[in-house]
Amino acid sequence: MEPALRAGDRLLVLPAGERGLPGLRGLPPLGSIVVVEREGRLEVKRVARPPDGTPERTLWLLGDNPARSTDSRQFGALPLSALRARVVWRSGAR
Amino acid sequence: MSNIISSFKRALTPVVVSAHCDIPCGIYDPSGAVVAAKTVARMVELLEQIEVKDHATRNKYVRCVASKEEHAEKVKHEVQVIWSDYFKPEHLAKVPDLHDQVWKLLKLASKNKQNVDTAAAAELVAATEAFAAAFAASKA
């Protein structure tokens, strides 16, 4: 996710998704950075526009560094139920 | 009141989130394939030298054949993992002939399993070295 996020950054997140704050329960806007749970792990990715034919109300997530990222290009779209949080702030000046 | 405090504490307890896959990036290494290909070539060299005349020489011959099989299969496995797991569409700009190169390399490894062929073994070593060079180029 560099340079937007770097290893060791602290993130302030707001609960989002099905059990999130009211107003953050739906699909996050394109370009926002979210935390999802996938295969029992929490991962941070950016919300991207899904390719044609992707089911509605699913998340298409891409890392910022395509050559190094494992993301929806490999694992496909994630259900909205995977969404845990929306990143609103990160520590550290750039 | 203590409930409110504890739920605030819970909300403010940091957890670790990851941006990368389980295994850290950068552990892919084609040198295993190159070493396996060189082992195949060495086994072919030995097989051409062994004169089978008793149990001991037959045993040695069979062991060399088994090792050749094993290492040719290892070349295929190592190359396939890097091809499918490491290489991303973005890398194809730097290695446009990747798929053709891998396809031919895998067929060459099979040819080395089927035969005792010095020329094919040398080709396999060259092809895995070319694959290692393509891997390096994709990172440049």
From chain B, pick out residues whose CB is under 8 angstroms from the CB of A67.
Answer: 88, 90-91
Work out how many domains chain B is built from and give that number.
Answer: 1
Name the more confident of A9 and B98: B98
Find the Cα–Cα–Cα–Cα dihedral A65, A67, A68, A71, rounded to 10°.
80
pLDDT for the residue B21: 59
Do A66 and B19 lie within an 8 Å CB cutoff?
no
Within a domain: residue B46? yes
CATH number at residue A50: 2.10.109.10
Output phi, psi for A33, to 5 deg.
Answer: -105, 130
As for how many domains chain A has, the answer is: 1
Q: For residue A88, what is the enclosing H or E element?
A: strand A83-90
pLDDT, averaged across chain B: 91
> pLDDT grade, residue B11 (50/70/90)?
confident
Residue B54's SS3 state is: coil
Domain span holding position A47: 11-90
**Residue B74 carries which side chain, given as an amino acid letter?**
K
Residue at B6 is within a domain: no
Residue carrying structure tokens 């996020």? A5
Cα–Cα distance for residue pair B3/B68, rounded to 1 Å: 67
Q: Which residue of B15, B16, B90 is in closest CB contact with A67?
A: B90
- The Cα–Cα gap between A33 and B51 comes to 67
Alpha-helix runs per DSSP H in A1-94: 72-75
CA distance A39 to chain B (A): 10
Does residue B28 have a pLDDT over 70? Answer: yes
pLDDT in tens, A48-92: 999 998 888 899 999 988 877 888 988 899 999 999 999 998 886
Domain hosting residue B42, numbered range? 29-139
* Any domain includes B16: no
Is 80 exceeded by the pLDDT of residue B79? yes
Can you say whether the dihedral through the CA atoms of B61, B59, B78, B99 is positive or negative? positive
Distance from the Cα of B137 to chain A's closest Cα (Å) equals: 13
The residue of chain A with its CA nearest to that of B24 is A68
CATH of the domain at B38: 1.20.120.400
User: What are A's interface residues with B at a Cβ cutoff of 8 A?
Assistant: 1, 5, 7, 10-11, 35, 41-45, 63, 66-70, 73
Q: Is residue A15 part of a domain?
A: yes
Decide which of A31 and B11 is more confident: A31
| Higher pLDDT pick, A48 / A6 | A48
A36 within a domain of the structure (yes/no)? yes
Mean pLDDT value of segment B57-75: 97
Residue from B7, B13, B17 whose CB has the most chain A CBs within 10 Å, to mutate = B17
In this structure, is residue A4 part of a structural domain?
A: no
Q: Which residues of A touch B86 (CB under 8 A)?
A: none
Inside any domain, residue A3: no
Indicate whether B26 pLDDT > 60: no
Contact B88 A67 (CB under 8 A): yes
Q: What percent of chain B has pLDDT over 90?
A: 71
Q: Which pLDDT score, from 0 to 100, does residue B32 have?
A: 94
Q: Report the residue from B14, B16, B21 with minimal CB separation from A70.
A: B21
User: pLDDT at position B27, please?
Assistant: 74
In a domain, B130, yes or no: yes
Instruction: Check pLDDT > 60 for residue B23.
Output: no
- B84 in a domain, yes or no? yes
Residue A2 lies in a domain: no
Cβ distance A68 to B25 less than 8 Å, yes or no, reads yes
Mean local confidence (pLDDT), B118-138: 96
Given a cut of 90, is residue B85 above it in pLDDT?
Answer: no
